[in-house]
Amino acid sequence: MPVRPSAALLVMNECKQQFDVLIVGGGVIGCSIAWRLAQSGQRVAIFERGDAGKEASWAAGGMLAPLAEADRADEFFALCVKSRALYADFAAELKTATGIDIEYRTEGTLFLSLTEADDHELEERWRWQHDAGLNVKRLDAGCVRKLEPTINERLRWALKFPDDHQVNARQLMQATLSAAQAAGVQVFAQTEVRRLLSDSHAGKNRIVGVETTQGVWQAPVVVLAAGSWSSLLAEATHLPVTPVRGQMVAVASPTPAVRHVIYSRRGYVVPRASGFLIAGSTTEQVGFDRRVTAGGVASIIARAEEILPGFGDLALLETWAGVRPGSADEMPVLGEDPAVAGLIYATGHYRNGILLCPITAQLISELLTKGESSVSLTPFSVLRFAHRRAVG
Ligand SMILES: Cc1cc2nc3c(=O)[nH]c(=O)nc-3n(C[C@H](O)[C@H](O)[C@H](O)COP(=O)(O)OP(=O)(O)OC[C@H]3O[C@@H](n4cnc5c(N)ncnc54)[C@H](O)[C@@H]3O)c2cc1C
């Protein structure tokens, strides 16, 4: 449960500006929600511990690939596909609002089979998606090589997902932040939220504000969009979101460059419009350690080399790491806390926060401005972890 504010703390910021909604976290999730809310006339503030957009959202690969990664159709898959469908308009709207091009590219995604074990997994994916009428194509090796001549000769066959696209995550981050600010959102950088503040009225808890390193702010709604750090603020509610490190590598693009996002079961290579390739990633449970390690980089290069022989000879441009906010069941946590009115979760997006950014912003904004969202948030409610509260 969030804690109650002391009278002294509340007095401290009595004369501070009033907001309808306070958002904790200035990543793509916090900024895009803030943008949509401000467009609906809400007065919104974002509190960011460091500088906005320097954590997971800055580290991401930018793939919008629900089909390439899905093994079944469920509510989570449906949410991902809905969000993907919003992207072309989202990119255009951000360009109009900010002038920033998020490099939305539509060449599609290839998933290579390079071994017998790969055959099995790709066959399964092909079967259920084809039977479900999804846009997935099966290509023989010759066909793939016509599309991407530099791919490994060991290629057996591949799946093509024409609608699984990509964006430049750093440009997206900058664009959502700029769009939010242009719409009137106030961003408090270097301002860490230390505690969520709640009060009890007629036996019901409700949020009343936040205590930050710069003082207390009051508002009837707080959106928790603090990525991997969300559980630290919602400690008593046992929100199971933990950091999962992913490392990345960027190299100078070869000639001819690849055009598609290319996956194997072990890694991926993504071409960027600005003329380089990025490759990823690792999946490591090492807490909040965001160091790049020699072993991590070596493993990424080995897997990229398996996709594109010669990758390891290209000039190394940059390496980096970030922590994905992974929930216990790898699905996002969205919607109001049933036990604390006004406390809204928008976290736990794990590997799909870039993909899910437009739909998350839309649904949370609908929830707060219309009282309900156009897609049910029930499957993503924090309630699914209720047993943890009981035993915790
Ligand atoms: C290597 C890597 C590759 C990825 N690739 C993809 C991909 O290809 N496609 C995709 O869809 N997703 C991808 N992801 C996942 C995606 O990056 C995340 O799901 C998404 O960025 C989460 O956004 P967020 O805003 O919730 O978190 P973040 O971007 O981490 O933002 C949270 C913010 O909250 C701030 N904060 C935390 N605590 C506090 C506090 N107490 N007070 C104030 N501020 C606070 C943090 O400083 C941070 O800026 C990838 C992630 C990684 C690491």
Confidence of residue 219 (pLDDT cuts 50, 70, 90): very high
Span 132-138, average pLDDT: 97
Distance 347 CA to ligand 1 centre (A): 9
Among the candidates 280, 309, 325, a domain finishes at 325
Helix (H, G, I), strand (E, B) or coil at 67: helix
**Residue 348 Cα: closest atom of ligand 1:** 26
Residue 391's pLDDT is: 44
By most ligand atoms within 8 Å of CB, the mutation choice from 29, 81, 170, 224 for ligand 1 is 29
Helix (H, G, I), strand (E, B) or coil at 26: coil
Same domain, 247 and 320: yes
Instruction: Annotate 100-123 with b (16+ C-beta within 10 A) or e (fewer).
Output: bebbbbebbbbbbbbeeebeeebe
Distance 194 CA to ligand 1 centre (A): 19
- Please state whether the predicted TM-score (pTM) of the whole model is above 0.85: yes
Q: What is the pLDDT of residues 301-315, one digit of tens each?
A: 999 999 999 999 999
Output the domain CATH number for residue 117.
3.30.9.10
The two structure tokens encoding residue 383: 């309630």
Same domain, 185 and 200: yes
Tell me if 304 is assigned to some domain. yes
- Residue 1 clears pLDDT 60, i.e. is over it: no
- Report how far Cα 319 is from the mean position of its chain's Cα atoms: 20
For ligand 1, residues with CB inside 6 Å are: 24-30, 47-50, 55-57, 59-63, 192-193, 225-229, 233, 246, 248, 280-281, 322, 324-325, 347, 349-355
Tell me if 31 is assigned to some domain. yes
Tell me if 66 is assigned to some domain. no
By most ligand atoms within 8 Å of CB, the mutation choice from 90, 213, 349 for ligand 1 is 349
Same domain, 42 and 20: yes
DSSP code of residue 13: T
Among the candidates 299, 325, 351, a domain finishes at 325
Closest-CA residue to 229 (of 48, 36, 35):
48
Same domain, 223 and 179: yes
139 bridge partner residues: 158
Q: What is the pLDDT of residues 14-34, one digit of tens each?
A: 445 699 999 999 999 999 999
Tell me if 147 is assigned to some domain. yes
Same domain, 335 and 320: no
Helix (H, G, I), strand (E, B) or coil at 367: helix
Q: What is the pLDDT of residues 339-392, one digit of tens each?
A: 999 999 999 999 999 999 999 999 999 999 999 999 999 999 999 998 765 443
Distance 108 CA to ligand 1 centre (A): 24
Q: How many domains does the chain have?
A: 2
Which runs of consecutive H residues, i.e. helices, occur in the chain?
Answer: 7-12, 28-39, 56-59, 66-69, 75-98, 116-131, 141-147, 169-182, 230-233, 294-307, 357-370, 386-391
In angstroms, the Cα distances linking 330 to 238, 240, 333 are 15, 10, 9
The percentage of the chain sitting over the pLDDT mark of 90, rounded to a whole number, equals 89
- Residue 12 clears pLDDT 90, i.e. is over it: no
CA dist., res. 47 & res. 365, Å (int): 18
Confidence of residue 102 (pLDDT cuts 50, 70, 90): very high
Same domain, 236 and 251: no
What is the DSSP secondary-structure string of 79-136?
Answer: HHHHHHHHHHHHHHHHHHHH------B-S-EEEEE-SHHHHHHHHHHHHHHHHTT-S-
Q: What are the residues whose beta carbons fall under 8 Å from the beta carbon of 144, sequence distance 6 or more?
A: 110, 112, 151, 155, 157, 158, 160
Supply the angle between the helices 357-370 and 75-98 in degrees, to the nearest 10: 90
- Residue 10 clears pLDDT 60, i.e. is over it: no
Confidence of residue 132 (pLDDT cuts 50, 70, 90): very high
**Residue ranges making up the domain that contains 52:** 7-58+171-240+329-391
Radius of gyration for the chain, computed over Cα atoms and rounded to the nearest angstrom? 22
Confidence of residue 137 (pLDDT cuts 50, 70, 90): very high
CA dist., res. 31 & res. 313, Å (int): 38
CA dist., res. 283 & res. 285, Å (int): 7
Q: What is the pLDDT of residues 265-277, one digit of tens each?
A: 999 999 998 889 9
Among the candidates 304, 325, 346, a domain finishes at 325
Output the domain CATH number for residue 361.
3.50.50.60
Are the C-beta atoms of 62 and 273 separated by less than 8 Å? no
CA dist., res. 352 & res. 64, Å (int): 8
Tell me if 223 is assigned to some domain. yes
Residue 236's pLDDT is: 61
Same domain, 235 and 248: no
Tell me if 96 is assigned to some domain. no
Same domain, 259 and 317: yes
Same domain, 195 and 249: no
